Amino acid sequence: MIKYILKRLLVLLPVLLVISIVIFGTIKAMPGDEVTAYFGAGSRATEEQREQVRERLGLDKSLPEQYVRWLGRVVTGDLGNSVSLKKPVADVIGPYVWNTFYLNALSLIIALLFAIPIGIRQAVKKGSFFDNFWSVFSLLGISVPTFFFAMLLIFFVGNNVPGMPINGMYDPMLKSFGYSSVFQMIGDVAVHSILPVTVLAFSNFATFSRYVRNSMVEVINMDYIRTARSKGLKEKVVIYRHAFKNARIPLVTLLGLYIPSLFSGAVILETVFVWPGIGKILIDSINNRDTSLAMACLIFSALLMVLGNLLADIAYSFVDPRIKVED
């Protein structure tokens, strides 16, 4: 197992290298000037001052040299400084990553708590009203764009539920004057989380419930399930201990692919709800031409993506003993 993991990590290195080149090239090709972002719009900085900043940021070098220097810093853990916020990038993205993790992890847990039992029951009652109802519901969750559902929810709640916050993570007034207790802060965050968590949980539920249903339908029709039933085992034992044990394998794959989103965030959704997460700060950094911050967010997401695939492969051998990784 250890040898397999090491081999996979070695394979991932050139993949990450190519991704880093694409990220660097894409960000550098975007219109705008980092020096202008450093001084701010409307600045009266002289040409000499601008040239000094350009040299300090290494923008006077060729693009290949800029890339090598940037990659060297990233490998050593130095993500650079944010030109718009005048702070180290690592200090900037830290709180945003955890805000994103809280939002996505909570919505994922809620989605799984509903998707797994409902998906299993759909498979058991295939073709019934229960199955058809939740199939249509899931199809809506997959088909409707999250940003559209989010805006509908904001419009409905904003006009019909007085006092319910429709954006942000905190009440600006409470945060500025300070919370009276930890419980007040938790309650404030919880109330502000209701709408974005609802949208994300709805989307995740639709995807996971369909995966569970389709996997269970396939497994239930296998010979060993009929054999288990013929032996007189209780239906709950057959379904949950035998059928779902094998039907959960595709679910593990999907969860492995969802790991990066726990930290990398939903860019559009965070922007719609003005949620201070990694997705929103990525959009802000691109708009502000803050290349160091934008590239750090993107390379962080790419790293999580490839590691998520690796974790999904490793989880196979634990979920299903028939699947073995070769050293």
Residue 2 inside a domain? The answer is: no
How do beta strands 81-82 and 87-88 pair? antiparallel
Pairwise CA distance, residues 110 & 102, whole Å: 12
pLDDT attached to residue 134: 93
Amino acid at residue number 325: V
pLDDT (tens digit per residue) in 232-276: 888 888 888 888 888 887 787 778 777 777 766 578 888 889 888
The whole-number average pLDDT for the span 191-206 is 92
| Distance, CA of 14 to CA of 294 (rounded, Å) | 21
State mean pLDDT over 186-209: 91
Top-confidence range, 82-91, 106-115, 170-179? 106-115
Q: What does pTM read for this prediction? A: 0.82
Identify the DSSP state of 59.
T
Is position 86 within any domain?
A: no
pLDDT for residue 327 is more than 60: no
Which residue from 297, 300, 317 is spatially nearest to 259, judged by alpha carbons?
A: 300
Q: Which structural domain range is residue 134 located in?
A: 95-286
Please give the angle made by the CA atoms of 62, 68 and 70, to the nearest 5 degrees. Answer: 100
Within-domain flag for 127: yes
- Examine residue 79 and state whether it is found in any structural domain, yes or no: no
What does the angle CA 31 – CA 34 – CA 38 come to, to the nearest 5 degrees? Answer: 140
CATH code where residue 278 lies: 1.10.3720.10
**Per-residue pLDDT for 1 more than 70?**
no
Among 29-33, 129-133, 208-212, 303-307, which stretch is predicted with the lowest mean pLDDT? 29-33
On whether residue 30 sits in a domain, the answer given is no
The strand pairing partners of 87, in sequence order, are 82
Q: Write out the DSSP string of 77-108.
A: T---EETTTTEEHHHHHHHHHHHHHHHHHHHH
The CA distance from 168 to 322, in Å, is 47
Half-sphere exposure at residue 198, Cβ-oriented, CA atoms within 13 angstroms: 16
Amino acid symbol at 126: K
- Is residue 169 included in any domain, yes or no? yes
Q: Are 39 and 50 in contact (CB under 8 A)?
A: yes
What mean pLDDT, rounded, does the chain reach?
84
The number of domains in the chain is 1
**85 located within any domain:** no
